[in-house]
Amino acid sequence: MARFSLMLWGRPRLPAHAVGHIIDLPHTQIRVFDSGNGSGRGAYVVVPDPPNVIEHCLPLIRRVAAGQRVVAFELPGFGYSRPRPGFRFGLASQSATLHQLFDRLGLTETVLDMSCLGAYVGLDFAARHPERVRHLILQQAPALADAQRWARRADLHGLIRTPWVGQCFMCAFRRQATRHWYGAALPAGHDDALRQAFTTPALHAVDAGGLFLLADAYQALLAHPAGASAPPQPVTALWGGADRSHAHTPPKSLLHDVPAARWVAFDDCGHFPGLEAPARFDALLRAASVRI
């Protein structure tokens, strides 16, 4: 379906003022920001949770980069990372892409921070390539079966998960879907400043041609057999307890798939606990052996 989505969306062009650069890989282009300081061994790697883009992570990057190398990149099909027409959104294909990117950047024994649908890519990648990941941080990720149930609930009328229809819907209503998502994902009663901090960078990216191929990601997630890989590395699972989109999701269910994970809750945060509560997240990073 990537070919059809790309026909609808066209080619994103990274604005001159945007951070990072584009790396060409066999099956996709990836937008990457690399602080460039320090070794690739033990780097902190953060992946924005779409429709978040790298700009959402810049305050976090600035804090962490004072002490070590930090790499941020956008997953294929989101932001300015444009997959090629034959790209597949399944976990194996995504893991292969991460392996190629890590190899290109010389990244080993990293602390890898991934969220929501991307978390299952992180689990698969860490299990397949343990030399690349020393510690895995997963934000807002229940058990895979519960993530599939959540995706069906969030897709109220089944439009996004329907092939062809979902792709057309996400392209036609990209701005509305972005605004609606932040309204549901942030805590109840959040102020306008918090909402603008999330919506403004996301809408700027969408308006500049940035991708939000949520239909492709949903359809791949729902086609995957239930059950996630349990990697050998330490895993920290971070949960925002005020995420209204997950009101009916069992918060600790990831522990069914990854029993050894350390589970941490930020009860007052929504879907993006690491960005909503930076001081507490910094402490969590230190516990994951990240030098800040």
Rounded to an integer, the average pLDDT of 31-36 is 96
Weakest mean pLDDT among 7-16, 78-87, 163-172, 234-243: 7-16
Region label for 33, one of left (φ > 0), alpha (ψ between -120 and 50) or beta (otherwise): beta
Q: pLDDT tens-digit profile of 71-110? A: 999 999 999 999 999 999 999 999 999 999 999 999 999 9
Q: How far apart are the two ends of the chain, measured CA to CA in Å?
A: 41
pLDDT at residue 291, rounded to an integer: 42
Tell whether the model's pLDDT for residue 33 goes beyond 50. yes
- Provide the H-helix boundaries in 136-247: 144-154, 165-172, 174-185, 192-207, 214-223
φ/ψ of 48, rounded to 5, equals: -60, 145
Evaluate if residue 158 carries a pLDDT over 60: yes
Residue 150, pLDDT > 70, answer yes
Q: For 224-280, write each residue's pLDDT tens digit.
A: 987 777 899 999 999 999 999 999 999 999 999 999 999 999 999 999 999 999 999
What pLDDT score was predicted for residue 191? 87
What per-residue confidence (pLDDT) applies to 292? 39
Taking residues 155-164, report their average pLDDT: 92
38-64 residue pLDDT tens: 889 999 999 999 999 999 999 999 999
CA-closest candidate to residue 220, choices 97, 50, 78, 90: 90
pLDDT of residue 195: 94
**pLDDT, position 289:** 64
Q: Which residues of 49-59 are buried (b: 16+ CB within 10 A; e: fewer)?
A: bbbbbbbbbee
User: Which pLDDT belongs to residue 175?
Assistant: 97
User: Domains in the chain and their CATH numbers?
Assistant: 1-288 (3.40.50.1820)
Burial class (CB in 10 A: 0-12, 13-18, 19+), 248: exposed
pLDDT digits (tens, 9 = 90+) for 184-226: 999 998 889 999 999 999 999 999 999 999 999 999 999 998 7
* Average pLDDT of the segment spanning 164-171: 97
- As a 3-state breakdown, the chain gives helix, strand, coil percent values, each rounded to 5, of 45, 15, 40
